[in-house]
Structure 1
Amino acid sequence: MAPARPLDADSDSDSDAGSEASVTDVQLGLSDGPIDSDDASNPLVSRIGGRPAWLPTKTLPPASVATCKHCNNTMELLVQIFAPLDGSAYDRVLFVWGCARGVCQRQAHGSIRAVRLLQHNARWAAKLEKQKARKEAAAARRRTQEAAAKAREEEEAARKKVNPFSAGAGAAGTGLGGMLFGAPAPAAAAPQETTVVADAEQDDSESESDEEESRLAEELAVKASLEATQRTADWAAAAAHYAPAQYLNTVPEPSSSARRAASAKLTPAAKAALKAGDGTVPNDDAGLKEWEGESYQRMMVSGVDEAFERFVARVGSEGRQVVRYELGGVPLPFCGSGIVYDKLWPQASRNATPVSRQAMAASDKNGRTYTPSAVPPCEACGGPRTFEVQLMPNLVNLLRPTSIAGAADEAVVLDSNASAEERRRREIESALGRKLPSQPDADGITRAKPQNEQQRLAEEAALRARTGLAWSTALVYTCEQDCCLPREAAAEGEAWREEWVGAQWEE
């Protein structure tokens, strides 16, 4: 697991790389327009919404992994991320589903679920073996050259001990020995070291030149495998989904130093928009990013908690982000309260044993230390889980109830005689997923309003209806070992596992 890090808006992943670093280790996922039809079934293409694009496995995860644990309805896909691990011979995809019903989302767990799907890639495994063989050969050459250089140094040192005219008695080329025999020849290690460097540069150039070719070859191979795969019907093909699916592309997160530099250089367009306060968006790219950052800053009001202030300050540099990806990193809490926050950043116990200096440095102002060990271990291998990806509030803005396709109609009957105020109240209750407290009448007395059966059923139907996403952030933790233990009736070299998700809401 990654070491605990302090809850600080400026303590990002570039802190150890020096103040001049311009990016952190976090990759920010941004929407990049609707997915082309050719890429709709390509599992190598990460996406927002749409239907899942499965790896060409012989068996699929069951529909139960995408079923809300509260209403038992099939959920909609929120994001799909192609996320193979470095040095792994497995293709790897993460799927995250979410229920669009407000009454379900505010439950503890079960309205957002994540699945990790693995499939052994024989082509990539062969390439990794070739890369490994090249590295081992280069390392063997390096060891041989280092041993030869050391032997020459030892031989030269022994020769100097018996040669009184060696240049070792003074500066090279001086003294009687230097005048008679000249300075001893330098060790011939430099050309051989150059050979090692050249080998490394050749390997790098081969990797760069082969990268695009390998990517295209992988896509063609995956498409061919999908066409040849024989399996049962895809349950997700007829499920409700957000349409259209959108590309999910990544950019590195600006570092704390880069964010400070950007905030100090507001363009005239950004300043004018902020002064007007009318939400006008600057046309230039630089002004757009700065406007986004200041828009987040305007959300900060007196009385908000410290964690939310850090969240706003950190996210404001790129307000369009829909996911934050940093395998083994530290998530960014939306607020300093709730079940998930208390679980991952627990209160320090008075009777707790003294913690290390590193743990103390990782505490916030209230003494809370990030504790990933609180996340349940992998049910398959028993190993720890580690943070991998975080869904951000802007994803809620992109995935609206009006964009859900294929959903069954849910009739909501409202009393036509209800006042506009009553209808508006029901709309708010539907959006929140809960009943609002009764309001006093004109005389100041709060009375229970009589309701007929039709009104009661209408309100229950409204609360059950799709209301759109309501969470503020969702944290996905995956098996640290990326285990691929076989399941019953599963083909060799493929597996799926459900992972742990924790969500926070705006109170």
Structure 2
Amino acid sequence: MASYDSDSSGGEDDYTETNVLLGYASQEPTDDTISQLGGHPSWLDNASAPPAALARCKACNDMMSLLLQLNGDMPEHFPGHERRLYLFGCRRGTCRRKQGSVRGFRAVRLSKTQKQERTQETRPSEPQETQTQAREEAPAPSNIGASLFGVKPPTDVSNASSNPFATSSVSASALSNPFSTRPTASGSTLSNPFSNPQSPAAAAPPQPSPTASSLPETFAQKVRISLPSPSPPPSPPTTTEPWPPQSSFPTAYPSYHLDADYETLSPRAPTVPQNVRLDMDTDMDVDANSNSSSNTRDDKDTFESSLDTTFQKFADRIADNPTQVLRYEFRGRPLLYSTTDAVGSLLSRPSHIPANALPVPPCANCAAPRVFELQLTPHAISELEAHETGLEGMEWGTVLLGVCGSDCAPKGQKAGEVGYLEEWVGVQWEEVGGRR
């Protein structure tokens, strides 16, 4: 990737192009008929909409409005995958700056060929019991165990090891209930010491054993010694709330098509950092108190400048292409709005993670590291709220989306089906006082 800082000499045609793809809102149709800013979402399969829970605000539980829908197909990274990315935001004023008021999820559909390849890749990592059962159930002629697990077929099927948990060839009398009545070697009958009143193990004096018919019926019904304990009733099946009709959602933001181009940075003249002081020779005598006051003011300016460096870099990069609403770079680096908030401090601190991965919780479905894919910029607010009459609106500086680096599908999803998985969203809120 090209350096963020241009070393150009400042010539008329000098500029720096990066690997970041910028998105621009357009009211005119573009070549991309899927990606959009605002509007209503569309799905990979209209018959397989996501569960409604993915679009509910975690702060108020109301339905949210679509911020972004993006065509995420990447044949060079994930051949055979169809992908779409979605960002939703809550429009309630009371939910601003609250965790879960902006959420994102990924839609994925795997082709039949790709699904089979992934199944074979993950099969060796299955539990040993599952593998043993698969070998026992597989028909001998096909030799699936040898092809998938590297197990050599036995030379004599009749002598193959049997299931250690199945009934062995020991006589049935050896495995019978030791507490039941059975004949001994001498021909006498060995009685159950726990049921025979003549047994020496019985602590109570001999008493005639009552027969089952002599017991009160209610007692027999309640005890039911000879019957196994009843199994608990099956739990009711879990239900997933289906995607509701559009009338259940708040008013949608205006819809824009997305046009895209790679980011270009204009050359900048070298500037003297604000925390650098120039010592100049002078014949004037400087008062000691005045000099001390000046040094204190310079130290304060230097401290404030160091705190604002990240935002200044953010503002400078955005200013080169001020109408951008989206920054996209799969497995790239996000442009941070700040390093002093929770998201900025998390992403800017050193971490022992794979290269290009985000130091955020891994994929909840497959545990693969998450990677950066895109972020919204402040101009997206201007476009989405172009027709808003109120003064209060969205207050974020940028919205970051981190996705599963393996683009996994939900467990149990069949080839050709569409699945949805929630992804990590980091919101860097606009600082109080306004920087937008």
| TM norm structure 1 | 0.46
Q: Which runs of 5+ in 2 are unaligned?
A: 116-240, 271-303, 432-436
1:76-128, Cα deviation, whole Å (9 max, x unpaired): 00010001112321221101001123432312x31111111012357999xxx
Aligned to 1:32: 26
Aligned mates of 1:331, 1:59 — CA distance in 2: 32
Matches within 5 A, 1:397-476: 397-400=382-385, 402=387, 467-476=392-401
Q: Deviations over 1:9-49 (max 9, x none)?
A: 5289x9xxxx988421100000111669xx9xxx9521010
Q: Match of 1:260?
A: 267
Work out whether 1:344 is the aligned partner of 2:333.
Answer: no
**Shift in Å at residue 248 of structure 1?**
1.1
**Mapped partners of 1:338, 1:236: distance in 2:** 37
Paired residue for 2:252? 242
Kindly tell me: are residues 318 and 20 of structure 1, through their superposed partners in 2, closer, same or farther at Cα, counting changes over 3 Å?
closer
Q: How does 1:61-140 map to 2 (within 5 A)?
A: 61-87=50-76, 88-107=79-98, 109-120=99-110
Change (3 A) 1:24 1:73: same
Contact preservation (8 Å) 2:328, 2:374: yes
2:404 to 479, 482, 487: 479
| Pick aligned residue for 1:50 from 39, 46, 58 | 39
5 Å-filtered alignment, 1:324-343, equals 324-343=327-346
RMSD: 3.9
Q: Does 1:496 align with 2:415?
A: no
CA contact (8 A) 2:16 2:267 kept: no
Question: Within 5 Å, which residues of 2 pair with 1:171-210?
Answer: none
1:470 aligned partner, one-letter code:
E
CA deviations on 1:408-428 (whole Å, 9 max, x unpaired) are: xxxxxxxxxxxxxxxxxxx8x
**SS of equivalent to 2:267:** helix
- Change in Cα spacing, 1:21 to 1:312, as seen in structure 2 (3 Å) is closer
1:98 & 1:306 partners in 2: Cα distance?
Answer: 29
Distance 1:384 1:303, change over 3 A: closer
Aligned-partner Cα distance in 2 for 1:99–1:45: 22
Go from structure 1 to structure 2 and tell me whether the alpha carbon gap of 1:116 and 1:478 turns closer, same or farther (over 3 Å shift).
same
CA contact (8 A) 1:46 1:249 kept: no
8 Å CA contact 1:386–1:480 kept in 2: the answer is yes
Q: How many residues align?
A: 265
Which residue is equivalent to 1:10?
Answer: 5
- Show CA shifts across 1:125-174 (max 9, x none): 9xxxxxxxxxxxxxxxxxxxxxxxxxxxxxxxxxxxxxxxxxxxxxxxxx
Q: Look at both structures and tell me which one has the larger radius of gyration over its CA atoms.
A: 2
Report the Cα distance in structure 1 between the residues aligned to 2:63 and 2:44, rounded to whole angstroms: 21
After TM superposition, the structure 1 = structure 2 runs for residues 164-313 of structure 1, keeping only pairs within 5 Å, are 235=244, 237-238=246-247, 239-254=249-264, 256=265, 259-260=266-267, 305-313=308-316
Deviation at 1:346, TM superposition (A): 2.3
Q: Cα deviation per residue 1:370-416 (whole Å; 9 max; x = unaligned)? A: 98442110011110000000110011111128559xxxxxxxxxxxx
Identity of aligned residues (%): 32
Looking at structure 2, the residues matched to 388 and 324 of structure 1 have their Cα atoms a distance apart, in angstroms, of: 9
State the AA in 2 paired with 1:240. Answer: P
Q: Secondary structure at the match of 2:334?
A: coil
In the alignment, is the contact (CA less than 8 A) between 2:69 and 2:84 conserved in 1? yes
